[in-house]
A and B are shown apart, each in its own frame.
Chain A
């Protein structure tokens, strides 16, 4: 074995691990690795404008490809700026490896320039992290880090590399096979649990599949298996925000998203079901609503790769620990094995259709050309205009995100990139950058709010530099809309700091960065504006002015049960008590 520098080992390991793209930002403590990457033949480095954007871009890359995203940042502020994206990846189970530079080992602990305790700061927002003190350990640690990031429940892994470890020489080695001494996630479900699950499904009169991001993480085959199992059993499907796309939205078994801004039919079905089959979903508070009223009369099967997700919030009757895809395959096999036939669920479907008849996603609007645009209409128009183009949609966080989830429909996984668990404003635009890098020829659209977008708007420079044809579609209502909506519901419309004052002229901003900027003001301009956006090569920002005071419905107010949905604005009555106010 020849000696090589730590920095060269890092790059060699990335090559050996099949990494083609690194999102990053250079700085003093990571210069040796940047030098090793200089004019690299296979690894493309994407220079962002802020380290947080590097992490979200890596998430967008990961979520749209299924491969781990890779980030390279410097010590101190480089690492701390990355923390939000690392935490976002932890909460949404996104595979990511973040390499951070660190001050030389001889200076660690001395409050050196650009020193921070990166492993300390990231200890609880990573799946695992490392501080590498010896260049000989770089090879094994990098390979192990990728293994941990991508196996079991995916998540972010941080590797902190002091500068002298990057410069020092050592021997690069690759572990033959990652056989981790303590980390061995259970991927294959227990056969007895599967047999029990199949018996429960076969016996159920009112079953419902409640699926989540775990199905997406398990790969496209898991989504295919979900469709097959739904076909076999005839049961309806709802999904979390993170799980959208695993089941086709145009299928008649699809009830739409559930939870706080889910559909009436999905939430009522969860409440009235006699069996919930949760697959790769974690009973988040945004999904369950008031816990003591959550699906009171159902048996619950929970399939999850993370044992700690099971019985965390909602006690279940049957736990199946394993990969969602393998568990679904096993269920299909066991269903066939036992010779089960789909039960007559006619009565259940009559009730589901009754709830569907409320048409809970309808919204009031004026139809004339000069009318203001309802934000829901803007999303629907965007969906209609891009049908058949297989776009990748990212969102920021807030009302526009929920409207996108409700009105933009997906029929395949890995097309919907959104920050679910952490709810990170500023996620969507850099995630679109990452997705576009991974899919240069696809239509990538960030549906944004004017407030969220400004949290990482500096990435317009990144897009310009790499000539990425990213489209940003702003639903501009000049409010932090979701904050304002909660202030209306909870604080008698005292709009404390939720107005988007002093907005930039987004069209001029586009011009300043060499993008194309468009503005859409009225309903009559909407369809043409969207067409222009799609047909314009290169990056486009669309400032779509929408009704300022529209709110997102249906909604389960905080502290309420699935059956207590607010369907329309005029359903709002009274004020909220402190118990409800205290819930997030």
Chain B
């Protein structure tokens, strides 16, 4: 399942030139879903953590990396569970995926009408997402990487003042999860060419279990203060970024085996070392 160096270079070049188009082609090729999903290059940048302690840096440098241009689809996940029976719905251990794992699929190897092949896969656990990424020779993005990539607007590197993006983002947050998710192709690509970072599904990050409301908590009030809502905002640097709060809250609330109707993932990879 591992990608060859030649493919990596190819994917990188194509990703830069025409990333999203290649994905569409990848979906057509039912033989090899994982290898064909295109990646885009996210240039090195700076992630400003939403919350930090006094000892944390205000900014985190993020090296450039590659990120899947779109969330992993049901078709791609089907290829994975076909090759790895341990991750099929009927066989997975409850420790690694809770009882609603792939619940919207018709059966073990049939996504069915509630999970269109080209829609993002949801109801997948962190352990499953990680296993998928490993099988694809990739990994999950870190929080810093994901947020850096998702920080771009439709037209520029900084999406904070991108009105169109923010309108779409908050409209999405306000809508209930549709019973059947839309195809990944329907999401508008951002400046990096990555689709669906906002507006399709929530996504796992590799270090989700670092997301805890942070702060000096040696005192007895620690437990109380560490509830993510109120105390979280105290140390926050960008209180206008409501969506980022929601993502942080979601991450801090999850366990590695949890699955939800709106939580999917995409993979990342390091740039080839010279």
A binds B: no
| Partner-A contacts on B (CB < 8 A) | none
Partner-B contacts on A (CB < 8 A): none
